[in-house]
Amino acid sequence: MGFSRVKEQKSLRMDPYLLIGKGGPELVGKNYALLSQASEAFEAMATEAKKEGILLKIVSSYRSYERQKSIWNSKFSNFKSQGMSDRKAIEKIIEYSTLPGTSRHHWGTDIDLIDASQPAEGDVLVPQKFHQDGPYVQLRKWMDKHAESFGFYLPYTDDPSRRGFKYEPWHYSFAPLSKPMLKDYLNLNHAQWILSEDLEGSEVVGKEFLESYLETHVKGINPTLL
Ligand SMILES: [Zn+2]
């Protein structure tokens, strides 16, 4: 009895539609869209960072399935136009971008961050900008020290033994919500919820692809978030 109560608390028993970006979650935020608990934690963190001259700016937060699908399809056509095979194009997409229905951005708990006090030129979400003499080095150092105390963790760390997506020093996840959501997510029947024929490259994205992608990419994160 006791054990099953504990188990129930660990799961949010989320609606599968919400986990794959096809639900209508209640989101808050002026320049972003997050679940309210994640937004409160972010605002508290931003207030602290500001005291040290760092202006935390969210450039990406909640993203729907439809939005992810359009990112996927446009990257696919772009790589195909460079002469890649379907499989090669998909391998290239999943260096940084997710299969629609599998993005942590579908949950309203994950953010891509920059420092708005710094001049931004060109692509801001590139690892070099967060290292050496890049504009977001101060941001990264501050987040290294303080983010976890507000509940924010990097899923895609610079750990060479980690599989899946490449290192993303800009992507933070609000663990108090995203950890239980990932548990629910991993219990879904993924083939039923995620495989879709109106996706570019759907001949490659079958059951076998999905199973290995879940292992390497969805579970290939900072172990603290598993
Ligand atoms: Zn991200």
pTM above 0.75, yes or no: yes
pLDDT, one tens digit per residue, over 139-148 is 999 999 999 9
The CATH class given to the 11-225 domain equals alpha beta
pLDDT, one tens digit per residue, over 103-145 is 999 999 999 999 999 998 899 999 999 999 999 999 999 999 9
pLDDT-derived band at 10, boundaries 50, 70, 90: low
CA of 5 to the centre of ligand 1 (A): 33
What value does the mean pLDDT take over residues 25-29?
96
Sheet holding 152-153, edge to edge: 56-60, 110-115, 171-174, 152-153
CA of 38 to the centre of ligand 1 (A): 15
Which pLDDT belongs to residue 109? Answer: 98
CA of 96 to the centre of ligand 1 (A): 9
CA of 217 to the centre of ligand 1 (A): 13
Per-chain residues with Cβ under 5 A from ion ligand 1: 112, 171
CA of 2 to the centre of ligand 1 (A): 37
pLDDT, one tens digit per residue, over 203-224 is 999 999 999 999 999 999 999 9
